[in-house]
Structure 1
Amino acid sequence: MTRAARETFQTIRDLIRFGVTTFNEAKVAYGHGTDNAYDEAVYLTLSTLSLPLDKLEPFLDARLTAAEINSLIQVFERRVANRLPAPYLTHEAWHLGYRFYVDERVIIPRSFIGELLAERLAPWVADPDAEINVLDLCTGSGAIAIQAAHAFPNARIDAIDLSMDALKVAARNVADYGLSERIRLIQSDLFSQLSRERYDLILSNPPYVNADSMQRLPPEFQHEPSMALAGGKDGMDLVRKILRGARTHLNRGGQLVLEIGHERRNFEAAFPEMAVTWLSTSAGDDAVLHIAQDRLP
């Protein structure tokens, strides 16, 4: 963009309009906190200018300095040229009112399990204030573990991931929420580093994207760690391992809550005899399932 073109911008309103046009013309992909060009431009503008994310109106006609205009244009250009998801540009992700630090070592939090935790997993958890043991498999940024800690204030939580890089990000988020004494981070290939630990509740948003879908992911999603997304040919590689090991690590009456995204058809093909309950979320009734301990293999 030429200097003369930059000088035509004066206000936040001008820059948001420019951002919307830029994103629409570039046909960027969304799904990491926003689903349209306007919300994306507003978020990046407010975040870059260190303004409150919930207060756009008072600032719309505020005049910007040349340095602020240049900073915003650079952010918009990086978003388009590199197809980086917005949270990787700002190093923060917002999910259901929670703020998490993120970078390219972890996928950006968006699990539908968070919606169920906001309701304290009712009616499946009879007493959410009881002292329970919770396991978060494939914790990534630690988002589910942190949300579970708030849903169940007396729970002790183990959060597991194979990636040490992901666990470093999770440690930062756990510390930010002051939960280091309640959430234990463990590097493990699923259950491999657990000996006789048993839990009342296992939560997992594992890699489940099937191989064909992985090939068709927009560039924005390809910036996320593939090991946190790819679930093998039918998306069920990690799911199979979780279902084989979960019963051993659940107390009597324990429960598994498992997210599989858009893979219900592949799940039912892989496990035709398994009795599960599909839970309702904003994604519909087939993205998250519940299995009681005594129904696990």
Structure 2
Amino acid sequence: MHHHTPAEHSPETLGNHDHLETILDFVRWAASRMDEHDVFLGHGTHNYLDEAAWLILEGLRLPPDLGQDWWQARLTSEERSAVVELIRRRCLEHIPTAYLLNRAWFLGRPYYVDERVLIPRSPFGDLIRDDFKGLLAGNPAPQRVLDIGTGSGCIAIALAEHFPEAQVIGSDIDFGALAVASHNVAEYQLADRVELIQSDGFDQLVDDAGKPLAFDLIVSNPPYVDPAEAEDLPDEYHHEPAGALFAPDRGLALVERLLDQAADHLTPGGWIFIEMGNGRHWFDQRWPGHGGLWVDLSPAPSSIVGFPRERLADWRDCGDT
């Protein structure tokens, strides 16, 4: 992580901004400063103008789709100081916009986030929106759904809304993450359908008799980044909880453990889907005959693998090879 000396923290290092008056002025100026300071995008937007508009509009508590006419509105001096401070922290401290605003978007809807949870950006959003690409089509709609490593709760909440009949459990090893998730579950008024449980993987997901809880559908976005990649990651990632990003064994340790245990927690005909980012390469290399299906969510190469329960008994080697 880069440590800035206090001198670097003075707003002056962003250059003179006394002449800036309107929303448009600040968005244009912020986008240029972001480019100059190599701000990393990938936690929400794809270009500096969009990132600057998101930071400034939400920072001013204005709607993200503010009409053109309003862009000429002038900021008060208090607003100018507050906005410059946001831009400073974004450019010089590389704090992701979602953390500065305590708000991230998932499937077009807002969620509270802070540094206790990863910023929502999972391709599970697309998979849920596309109704799991028809892979669950032969089954009745899932009644019991599990999201392992729920973080902010956004995937559990999206699943509850997509499957209105389902009871959803969101689990996380981390109590801080569960606190954030419970805030979001309450915001969406889903406390009667989304239950949050502290669990290390499947370990605590058992009934009173110690029998594994079973689900029709399990999804997980576990930690899957190879710790060796840590130093190559942009500064922005160092503001995210390391426990939610990194896993031993080239990032595969948790994925392997989940697949080994999943069959006990699935109903007949149930599916588990696990996201593993760039880990797909290592996964395919280590278990070339695995029986999983990479779920295509173009344009990006798929990073989510799906296994029906019947392929889990010998998942390492039950493919077509």
Contact in 2 for aligned 1:10/1:64 (Cα 8 Å): yes
Q: CA RMSD in A?
A: 1.7
Q: Shift of residue 131 of structure 1?
A: 5.3
Amino acid of the structure 1 residue aligned with 2:28: R
Amino acid of the structure 2 residue aligned with 1:270: R
Percent identity over the alignment is 39
Contact in 1 for aligned 2:116/2:177 (Cα 8 Å): yes
* 1:44 and 2:60 correspond: no
Normalised by the size of structure 1, how large is the TM-score? 0.95
Contact in 1 for aligned 2:23/2:75 (Cα 8 Å): yes
CA–CA distance in structure 2, aligned partners of residues 191 and 56 of structure 1: 47
**Which has the larger displacement, 60-69 or 105-114?**
60-69
* 1:172 and 2:188 correspond: no
Question: 1:199 and 1:108, CA in 2 relative to 1: closer, same or farther beyond 3 A?
Answer: same
SS in 1 for 2:32: helix
Q: Shift of residue 224 of structure 1?
A: 0.3
Amino acid of the structure 1 residue aligned with 2:264: T
1:132 to 143, 148, 158: 143
1:53 to 61, 64, 67: 64
Question: 1:256 and 1:283, CA in 2 relative to 1: closer, same or farther beyond 3 A?
Answer: farther
CA–CA distance in structure 1, aligned partners of residues 252 and 159 of structure 2: 25
Amino acid of the structure 2 residue aligned with 1:237: A
CA–CA distance in structure 2, aligned partners of residues 29 and 210 of structure 1: 20
* 1:277 and 2:293 correspond: yes
**Which has the larger displacement, 213-222 or 172-181?**
213-222
Residues 61-83 of structure 1: CA distance to partner in whole angstroms, max 9, x if unpaired?
11111111111111100111211
SS in 1 for 2:305: strand
Contact in 2 for aligned 1:105/1:166 (Cα 8 Å): yes
* 1:92 and 2:126 correspond: no
Name 1:71's counterpart in structure 2: 82
Name 2:202's counterpart in structure 1: 191
SS in 2 for 1:28: coil
Contact in 1 for aligned 2:142/2:216 (Cα 8 Å): no
Structure 2 gaps of 5+ residues are 1-10, 207-211, 314-321
Amino acid of the structure 1 residue aligned with 2:291: A
Stretches (4+) displaced over 6 A: none
Q: Shift of residue 28 of structure 1?
A: 1.0
Amino acid of the structure 2 residue aligned with 1:288: I
Contact in 2 for aligned 1:141/1:167 (Cα 8 Å): yes
Question: 1:129 and 1:13, CA in 2 relative to 1: closer, same or farther beyond 3 A?
Answer: farther
CA–CA distance in structure 1, aligned partners of residues 104 and 214 of structure 2: 31
SS in 2 for 1:159: strand
Residues 24-80 of structure 1: CA distance to partner in whole angstroms, max 9, x if unpaired?
111111111012211111001100111111124121111111111111111100111
Name 1:118's counterpart in structure 2: 129
Question: 1:259 and 1:131, CA in 2 relative to 1: closer, same or farther beyond 3 A?
Answer: closer
Name 2:252's counterpart in structure 1: 236
Amino acid of the structure 2 residue aligned with 1:181: D
**Which has the larger displacement, 265-274 or 75-84?**
265-274
Q: Shift of residue 193 of structure 1?
A: 0.7
Count residues in correspondence: 296
CA–CA distance in structure 1, aligned partners of residues 260 and 140 of structure 2: 29
Question: 1:295 and 1:23, CA in 2 relative to 1: closer, same or farther beyond 3 A?
Answer: same
Name 1:215's counterpart in structure 2: 231
Contact in 2 for aligned 1:212/1:233 (Cα 8 Å): no
Structure 1 gaps of 5+ residues are none
Normalised by the size of structure 2, how large is the TM-score? 0.88
Amino acid of the structure 1 residue aligned with 2:297: T
Residues 211-253 of structure 1: CA distance to partner in whole angstroms, max 9, x if unpaired?
2222211110111000000021311010011011100100011
2:277 to 261, 265, 268: 261
**Which has the larger displacement, 280-289 or 152-161?**
280-289
SS in 1 for 2:181: helix
Name 1:225's counterpart in structure 2: 241
